[in-house]
Structures are given as structure tokens and as C-alpha cells.
Structure 1
Amino acid sequence: MRDATKSVKEDIDDSAKAITTPIYQTTAYLYPEGEKYRYSREANPTVLELAKKIAELEGAEQGVAFSSGMGAISTVSLSLLKPNANVLIHRDMFARTYKFFMDFVRSWGVNVDSSLPGNQNLIEMAKSKKYNLIFIESISNPLLRVIDIPELSKIVREYNGILVVDSTFATPINQKPLELGSTIVIHSASKFLAGHNDVIAGLAAGYSEYLSVIDQMRRTLGTSLDPHAAYLTLRGIKTLKIRMDVINRNAEQIAEFLEGHSKVKRVYYPGLKTHMDHEIARRVLKGFGGVISFEIKGGGEEVMKVMKSLKIIIPAQTLGGVNSIISQPSTMSHRSLTVEEKKVVGITDSLLRLSVGIEDVNDLIEDLDRALNSIT
């Protein structure tokens, strides 16, 4: 089956023969007949259906659902790491992920190295010593560097390491990291997968050898997803393919518009020929995604004026929904970074991150043009 069919197809063993997955809103199950599930923190039919869905979409042996994207990241990492293990990450990633590794994981006796933004430094560091785990974002947040997963995976395989890829920005529609050589793929399902800005959820998929261990850790840590959120995510995934088709197309047009605007200093979007990783993006992505970052001419004051002048695009700290959302990373998603950390990554007060939705692209362009022209 192709992705559009996989996204929609329902397949659940339900005595009522419901054509959509029911919400099993229960804490426990009749014993011994319900021993397969036992207790909903451990296993729930609605949640398991979602785990199966992400495994199908990613071409994985097993999937696991979590209470949030950070729940997925923390549970996967704590399942696979031990004191004295070596971990490699890159600096240009979601701030909470970066802080989790640099502050928390390090405090447990794990050696964590962080590469500078871009493929060259990451690849060089990956070759420099044996890393037990390398954790990357396939498209980095917020400057949208595209990692060369096939090249990196070759290095990881040489020393039998584990490559974990956060593919939230790409989605299974635009990229399947497991096919490119990664070991595990992670999603903040709150974003494009659920797609409606009404769910907090996380997902992981990969080889059962690792996912079965991760699933046991989930049960222990309690980072389990509730059935209603699982149901909403399943419902959102049904339209994932058609949403991403529109979002990819809208984002490409908007990126081209922004690149030619007199009030915009620089645009970061993998689909643009001017993007430093454009050739890699063409090779490893089927679509360039729905997130665009751009710097305006001005500073924080001008950024706030632009955001307040928008009538359709919503200023908020999220992304990946049907509604277009804009944010200032320096004061929102990456506010926990120090001034120096932001400088190294390239996050300035003039940077905006736009998550493109499914609205009419002409309305979005007109909204952005009006807001940008509000600054002098």
C-alpha cells in the first residue's frame, strides 16, 4: 500500500465491527480474558493501533506511542544509554532536546558531544570516535539544515552504533529515515501527524530489538499516551498525505515570495536553491516540508510588529497544524538557550519561524506582505 492508503486504512479487532478505532477509555481489563492489555498505562487498544500505524508508515518492525514528543525522546534515550556511553548530537535542534542531552543526560555520567550546525562538522565528529548513539533532527529546528542520513548511517554502522532521527519536520510523507539507514525514528506527533493543534503526543518506530526495550521503559517511566489523544492522532493521520501535499506546495511558493521581499534579509528553506543543503535535500527528501524560517530587516521590535500585524497567520509556539503559525524562536521555542548558544546556532531576534498550513496560498502571501510592509 502507498502512504495515502496506509494513513486511512483501519484494522482493529473489535467485536462491534466499528469502522473507526474506538476510544478504549478504561484503566484495566477483565482478567484473565483481558490479560493481553491488563492495565492501560502498559497497553491500551487505541494506543496500540496508533503505534501500529506509525510502524506501517515508517516501514518499521514496531512502533511505540508516548505522552509527548519529549516523552518519546527521553524514553528512547534512557532506554539505550548507560553511564560512560558516548553520544553525539548537533547544536541546531529543538532547545528542549538539546538541554535534555547537555544538562540531564550528562548528569547521569554519559559523555555527550555536540557538533556545530551543518553536515561537515557532524560527519567529521561522527568519524572521530565510537559513538554508542547519535541523535539528529533530519531537518533541524529552526534553521532547517538537512542532515545527510545515508552518509551518517554508514559511519554509525561501522561501529555498530545507534542512529536516532527526529523526523517531526519531514513526516513519513517527505522522508522515511529507516529506509535511509537510521535505527529509530521519532516524531512529535503533536505537530504534522495529528495536524490540528489539539493533541500532545509522541511516537517512535524502528527495529523490535530496540523498540521492545523502549516499550518496557515507557511502562516504567509512565510516559504513556492516553487513549483519547491516541484516537485524535489516528484521526489526524488519515489526512496526513493530502495535508502534506498542500503544505509542501504552499511552503515552496511562500519561500520564493519571501526571498524576493524587500523587508526580508534571508530565507531558510530546503526547497530554495540558495539553501546551503539544497542538493542534499533533493536527494533525501520527497518534499521540502512546511516550515520556513526567515530573518527580517530589523530586530525584536520589528518582529513583534510583523506578528501583531498578521490577520490570518497565528502567532503561537507550535507548528504542523492546518492553520499557519508563526513564532520568534529566540523568545519562544529556543528561549532556554543562552545568548552564546543562540549565537552559535544562528538564532537572532530578527528570525521568524513560519509553519505553513492549508489555507489558500494567495491569502497567506497577502497576509505576510501586508505585515512585512508595516515595518519601515
Structure 2
Amino acid sequence: MDEATGAITTPIYQTTAYHYPEGEKYRYSREANPTVLELTKKIVELENAEMGVAFSSGMGAISTSALALLKPGNSVLVHRDMFGRSYRFFTDYLKNWGVNVDASNPGSDNIIEKAKSKRYDVIFVENITNPLLRVVDITELSKVAKERGSILIVDATFSTPINQKPLELGADIVVHSASKFLAGHNDVIAGLAAGYGKYLNVIDQMRRTLGTSLDAHAAYLTLRGIKTLKIRMDVINRNAEQIAEFLEGHPKVVKVYYPGLKSHVDYEIARKVLKGFGGVLSFEVNGGQESALKVMKSLKLIIPAQTLGGVNSVISHPATMSHRTLSLEERKIVGITDSLLRLSVGIEDVNDLIEDLDRALCTLY
């Protein structure tokens, strides 16, 4: 509820500036905006954090946090099997800026061993990796980070606070592409970070300087989406698990990547650190890129698009879409093949989704 007016939904404060001296708390909407601040309060509640900050995108949250906490000569650890644009930001931009960037091979054990090898100023990981759904043991990694004096940042876009709260497992900062599951309707671009105040205050000052600030209307849409987050994720978790099981038994599917399957390499870690296995899964089809694209184009209900986390189910081809910036060698190391498809499961009737996938897969010889 809005305390100033009694409105039962948060108003959209669509303004650049505020009357002095009454509005001195906000000054200018690039720095602070009442609608946006309401969203930061919400992510603090969801993640049990000390402070939250909102950004113009998920990449805005990642880049601003990294630029606030790192400087030339510092070192950061990432992993190769992460969102392509995030990987490029660390390994291209930050490295050229003078930050020492090390990239671990996929897998929780590899990341933890790398973290033990030397002291990193920052360790940045996705708790569920994109697109092969490796699950990082945040509990064990956070112990190493604390022993080494490293700041642990966890991108929890795939899990949402419904399936995991990284701060409770020992992380220092959690970031989200709020455009995905948090907002949940494929109609807004936003990013969020939450964690300890001593770090988030520094990050917030960098946001004000860089201008990676969230618009009031986008904040309102994100707040609206969060109201149904628990309901949506319950359905999405359930749908994704059933679809993963269906695909694993399909004759046209070579392999399925989903942490809720017993066949997944990180199934035991997933059971330990996740409350639910999430709404994203990937699978390889018989044949190569031509077969994968044929399946994607043959779908009627599931939408081919480069996004995830909405109420609509969407499918993408990582090699030519989300991870197109990776070289062939980099994709090979990660395990992204030309026949790999990534599916973000929505809230549609699961039988309709399975029927759509079966029909598309049966177009393959």
C-alpha cells in the first residue's frame, strides 16, 4: 500500500525531479524514485537481504556490481558455462580494463577447486548455469570464498528466491535479470541486486554514476509480476519436471539437461541446494543444427524467442542466439552443441506443451 495516498498498488512516479525541499530525499529519478525504491524493498524481503538496488537490465546489475567492486589489478573468477553476454563482459571488457579474469571449466567441483587455488577479489557464478543447467554448490563455494576473503556474487535468475536464496547459503550478493521469472510476463527489462549493505551502498553509488537506473514504469511492471511469483513458479517447476521426463524418453532426443532428473550430473547437488528445480531445461535432438532449427520452427504453441522466464513457453537455439558470441572452441569446452535447444517452460497446460513438442520432434527423420 502507498503510505502517502492509501492506494493499494504502488503508484508510478513518472517524474524526473522533485520539489525542494520536500523531495530532497529523491532529488532526481536517475538517483532515486519512489516506485523503484518500492521494488528494492521487495527484493530485500524476498532474499532476506540488508539492501537492494534496481537496474535498467540484468546486465546492468552485473556490470555495475562488477565495476563497483573491481579495479585494475584485481582478480575475478567466473565459469565458462554462463550466459554469453556475461562471459564476454568479464573476459573481454574487464580483462581489457586491467582486471585479471580466470574462467573455470563447467562443474561445481572445478569452480571450487579454482577458487581454492588463489585469492580472488570477486567470485561470480550462476547458481544454475545457462544453458546446460549445471548446479553450483553455493554452500561449499561460499565457505571457500569466506576463507579466502573473496566477495561471492551469485546470479540467481534461473532459480528465483522461490527455489533458492543464495544469501542464506553464504553468498554476499545476489543478482537477477528481473526481466525473466521475477517480472514473468515478457514485457519489461529490469535487473536487481541484493545483499550486504557495505557492498550494495558502493554498487548503488556506481549505478547513480553510470546511469544504469530503472524507469518507474518498468519498476511498476516488475512489482506487479512479483505478486504472482510463487504461484507461477509452482506451476513452472511442476511443468518443467514433467516435460523433462517426457523428453528423456523420446526417441528423437539424444540428451536432456535438467537438474530435477536423476540422470543429471548435478542431481545430488540440486537436491541439496534447491527447493525446486526451475523452469529451464535444454535438450539435444538427433542430427545437427538443421534438425534443431526444424524442431524450433515446427512448434505451434511454444514460441521461438531469445528470452526465458515468462508465462509463455519459449524455445531458443543457444549456438546461434544466446551464446552466439562464443567461439566454436568456447562452445565446445562448455558443451553447447549445434543440436542443443533451450526451453523455458511457462504456465500453459503441460499436456498441450508435451503434445506440441512431440509433434515438432516427429518431423525429424
Per the alignment, residue 90 of structure 2 pairs with 101
Shift of 1:13: 2.6
- Three-state SS of the structure 2 residue aligned to 1:262 is coil
Equivalent residue in structure 1 for 2:26, among 25, 33, 37: 37
Note the residue ranges of structure 2 that are not aligned, 5 or more in a row. Answer: none
Deviation, 1:160, is: 1.8
- The partner residue of 1:124 within 91, 109, 113 is 113
Alignment of 1:52-71 (within 5 A): 52-71=41-60
Inter-partner Cα distance in structure 2 for 1:287 and 1:349? 29
* Distance in 2 separating the partners of 1:351 and 1:108: 33
Q: Which amino acid aligns with 1:264?
A: V
Identity percentage of aligned residues? 77
TM score, norm. by length of structure 2:
0.99
Q: Distance in 1 between matches of 2:162 and 2:109?
A: 26
Q: Which of the residues 258, 267, 273 maps onto 1:278?
A: 267
- Structure-2 separation of matches of 1:224 and 1:13: 24
Q: How many angstroms apart in 2 are the aligned matches of 1:344 and 1:132?
A: 25
Query: Cα RMSD over matched residues?
Result: 0.6
TM-aligned CA deviation for residue 83 of structure 1: 1.3
- What CA deviation, in whole Å up to 9, does each residue of 1:349-373 have, x standing for no partner? 1000000000000000000000000
Superposed structure 1 runs of 4+ greater than 2 Å apart: none
Structure 1 distance, partners of 2:33, 2:80, is 36
Number of paired residues?
A: 365
**1:7 matched to which residue of 2?**
none
Partner residue, 2:195: 206
1:123 CA displacement: 1.0
Q: Please, which moves more after superposition, 177-186 or 77-86?
A: 77-86
Partner of 1:4: none
After superposition, the C-alpha distances for 1:313-342 in whole angstroms (9 at most, x for unaligned) are: 000000000000000000000001001000
For 2:50 and 2:356, the matched residues in 1 are separated by: 44
1:221-247 CA-to-partner distances (Å, cap 9, x unmatched) read: 000000000000000000000000000
Deviations 1:189-216 (A, max 9, x none): 0000000000000000000011011101
> Aligned-pair distance for 1:29?
0.3
Supply the AA of the counterpart residue of 2:120: Y
Rounded to whole Å, the distance in 2 between the matches of 1:160 and 1:31 is 43
Q: State the distance in 2 between where 1:345 and 1:209 align.
A: 34
TM-score (ref. length: structure 1): 0.96
Report the CA distance between 1:119 and its aligned residue: 1.2
Distance in 1, Cα, partners of 2:98 & 2:325: 23
Partner residue, 2:74: 85
Cα distance, 1:121 vs structure 2: 1.3
What is the distance in 2 between the residues matched to 1:203 and 1:32?
29
Q: Give 1:159 shift.
A: 2.1
Deviation, structure 1 residue 161: 1.3
CA-to-partner distance for each residue in 1:101-122, whole Å, 9 max, x for gaps?
0000011111000000001211
| Matching of residue 371 in structure 1 with residue 360 in structure 2 | yes
Separation in 1, partners of 2:52, 2:40: 5
Give, in angstroms, the shift of residue 303 of structure 1.
1.1
Q: 1:350 maps to what in 2?
A: 339
Which of the numbers 8, 13, 30 marks the counterpart of 2:3?
Answer: 13
Distance 1:125 1:309 in 2: 42
Q: State the SS of the aligned residue for 2:143.
A: helix
Hey, what's the Cα distance between the residues in 1 that align with 2:200 and 2:221?
Answer: 23
What SS does structure 2 have at the residue aligned with 1:305? helix
Amino acid of the residue matched to residue 115 of structure 1? S
SS of structure 1 residue aligned to 2:67: helix
Q: Among residues 244, 259, 262, which one is paired with 1:255 in the alignment?
A: 244
Q: Which residue of 2 aligns with 1:360?
A: 349
| 1:184 counterpart = 2:173 | yes
**What is the CA-CA distance between 1:304 and the residue it aligns to?**
1.5
Tell me, in whole angstroms, the C-alpha distance in 2 between the residues paired with 1:176 and 1:313. Answer: 29
- Counterpart residue type for residue 144 of structure 1: L
User: Following the alignment from structure 1 to structure 2, what is the Cα–Cα distance between the partners of residues 265 and 303?
Assistant: 12
Tell me which residue corresponds to 1:24: 13
